[in-house]
Amino acid sequence: MPLFYIHHTNCISPQQTFPDADLSVLHQPVNYKLQVIEPKYDGIPPGILRRMSKAVRIGAGAALPLLNKLPATDGIIIGTANAGMEDCFHFLKQIVDYEEGQLTPGNFVQSTPNAIAAQLSMISHNNGYNITHVHLGLAFENAAIDAGMMIKEQPEHNYLLGAVDDIATYNYTLNSLAGWFKKEAFTTDNLYELNTPGSLAGEAATMFLVNGNPFNAIAQLRALHTIHSTDEIIIGEQLKTFLEKHLPEGEKIDLLISGENGDSRLLKYYTTCENGLLENVMIVRFKHLCGEYPTAAAMALWLSCYILQENQIPQHLIKQQSADKAFKNILIYNNYKGAQHSFMLVSGMG
């Protein structure tokens, strides 16, 4: 049995992915950042919208159209690492500036990571299960495991599963000083060819409507595995064990969606995983679309659903071509800062 079936997806990203996806044109970073293309938020009252932080805005913008597809959703499960960080520091700064006097309540209300799930609950009048997972680079993966556990107990229930992270000034500054972002000039076209430390700062909001019913589903998440390690040999061994356990006998991986991000220090992990697969597996990369951020694995899951629906891949995504033109089993491998790793096995419904 899979963890869950995916029925609908939405993604607000730095590329043209919402409301309709068109990955043929690449938008370039500005000031070393890939920031989302914000849509018109038709479903959010203006009075509420103007008080929302960016993370809450894009999260609500991606989620509400999915919540409106069903008369009722049984829960909202969000993964994030940095959402609410910007408002948190605005609020802390006000405490100092105003000596704990007249503080803006909006910054306080939206200063915690669970603000996205909470706002979605209030706007959609959803009184069901509501939780936010905050686990740095494995926040979305833990949210997906949670959704799978809930659906195993109640397969007929519908859950909104999502991930949101934005480029907060505080986090961007700290990560830049720590050397996680590139300092030389580059474009999305040559991100992977520079062979230098650091990546490209990014952000996105990605949402999925999931349940235990295969009828009319667009994809299924068969299995998910997370690892904490800095040893690429362990990662390779874990990948082999993961596929032996979860890939049905006689089937193979048709496509690897790699989280390779242009950071030369992390290339060894992705190379190890590529070498652990058959030679004719197609390999695609996606972080030139959205940049690097803690919950980027959610963007990879959205991309896998897009590929299974469209059955075509833009050339700029392809790292290694293969003769196969149809995709059934997709492996997603992502790591965050070389310490947090995840595998996801996604399959089509054909």
Question: Omega of the bond prior to 45 within 30 degrees of 0, cis?
Answer: no
CATH class of 4-211: alpha beta
pLDDT number for residue 101:
63
Domain positions in the chain: 4-211, 219-347
H or E element that contains 267: helix 267-275
| 4-211 and 219-347, same CATH topology | yes
**pLDDT value at residue 169:** 85
* Average confidence (pLDDT) per 10 residues, the chain, 350 residues: 96 97 94 94 85 90 94 94 62 62 60 83 93 95 98 97 92 92 90 95 97 97 98 97 94 96 97 90 97 97 96 94 86 98 95
Least Cα distance to 343 among 220, 215, 241 occurs for: 241
Residue 23, pLDDT score: 96
Both tokens of 243, joined, read 């596929």
Report the DSSP beta bridge partners of residue 206. 11, 163
Predicted local distance difference test score (pLDDT) of residue 325: 74
Q: pLDDT at position 47, please? A: 83
pTM: 0.93
Q: Which residue has the tokens 């049995």?
A: 1
Q: Are 295 and 81 in contact (CB under 8 A)?
A: yes
> Residue 110: its pLDDT value, please?
58
Rounded-to-integer distance, Cα 214 and Cα 227, Å: 29
Give yes or no for a contact between 56 and 78, defined as CB atoms under 8 angstroms apart.
no
* CATH architecture assigned to 219-347: 3-Layer(aba) Sandwich (3.40)
Which residue in 248, 311, 260, 301 sits closest to 9, CA to CA? 301
Radius of gyration from C-alpha coordinates of the chain: 20
Nearest by Cα to 289 from 189, 207, 196: 189
Strand spans (E) along 147-292: 159-165, 204-211, 219-228, 255-258, 282-285
- Count CB atoms within 10 A of the CB of residue 241: 12
DSSP 99-162: TTSS--HHHHHTSSTTHHHHHHHHHHT--SEEEEE--GGGHHHHHHHHHHHHHHH-TT--EEEE
**Beta pairing class for 329-336 and 340-347:** antiparallel
Q: Cα-flanking dihedrals φ and ψ of residue 302, to 5°?
A: -60, -45
Instruction: Determine the pLDDT at residue 1.
Output: 85
Could you give the C-alpha distances from 317 to 26, 188, 260, 303, 343, in angstroms and in order? 11, 11, 11, 10, 19
Enter the tokens of residue 54.
């960016």
pLDDT of residue 156: 95
Kindly report the number of other CB atoms within 10 A of residue 175's CB atom.
20
Pairing of strands 255-258, 282-285: parallel
Whether 224 contacts 342, CB under 8 Å: yes
Terminal Cα distance for the chain, rounded: 16
